[in-house]
């Protein structure tokens, strides 16, 4: 019985742990120290950037789907855009998050950090498809509130 209890406690601790950076610093704690309020970052397609004061790195990998209603059209529904965002700690492996503009999920929690898609730009136009290089995303990052 003690072995089962000990195994359960170890599994629970592992599930609650957060990724540490190269210096052993907790990424969510670094983010909280870097800014008391959420941080907003804009990334162009293909761009990667570190969040100031942390080992957290974000990248805008690609637009998976863009069915948003063009600004020069009349639509029955607003549509949805899906952006694939890369997130990592320092030189660690990159996790891929798929975030939506209108559907869920609009945010994802990664190792104690919440990444929210605030905007996918530009808005589409009916007559002209958007080139991948023209896209940008505005993201918000903050420690997950418990």
Task: Please write the tens of the pLDDT for every residue from 62-105.
Answer: 999 999 999 999 999 999 999 999 999 988 999 999 999 999 99
> Cα dist. 104→10, 101, 108 in Å?
32, 8, 10
Greatest alpha-carbon span in the chain:
67
Owner of token pair 């959420």 = 38
- All structural domains of the chain, each given as residue ranges with its CATH number in brackets, are 2-143 (2.60.98)
Quick check: 51 and 34 in contact, CB under 8 A? Answer: yes
pLDDT attached to residue 35:
86
Give me 108's structure tokens: 């994802």
pLDDT attached to residue 22:
44
> Cα dist. 74→2, 79, 124 in Å?
64, 12, 12
Cα gap 44→34, rounded to integer Å: 23
In tens, the pLDDT along 107-131 reads 999 999 999 999 999 999 998 999 9
In tens, the pLDDT along 32-61 reads 888 889 999 999 999 999 999 899 999 999
Owner of token pair 């990444």 = 115
């Amino acid at each position: 019985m003690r072995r089962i209890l000990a195994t359960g406690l170890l599994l629970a601790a592992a599930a609650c742990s957060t990724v540490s950076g190269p210096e052993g610093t907790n990424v969510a704690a670094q983010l909280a120290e870097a800014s008391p309020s959420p941080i907003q970052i804009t990334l162009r397609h293909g761009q990667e950037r570190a969040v100031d004061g942390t080992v957290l790195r974000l990248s805008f990998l690609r637009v998976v789907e863009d069915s948003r209603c063009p600004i020069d059209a009349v639509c029955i529904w607003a549509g949805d855009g899906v952006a694939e965002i890369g997130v990592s700690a320092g030189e660690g492996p990159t996790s891929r998050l798929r975030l939506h503009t209108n559907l869920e999920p609009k945010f994802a929690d990664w190792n104690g950090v919440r990444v929210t898609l605030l905007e996918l730009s530009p808005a589409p136009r009916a007559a002209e498809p958007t080139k991948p290089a023209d896209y940008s995303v505005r993201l918000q990052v903050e420690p997950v509130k418990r």
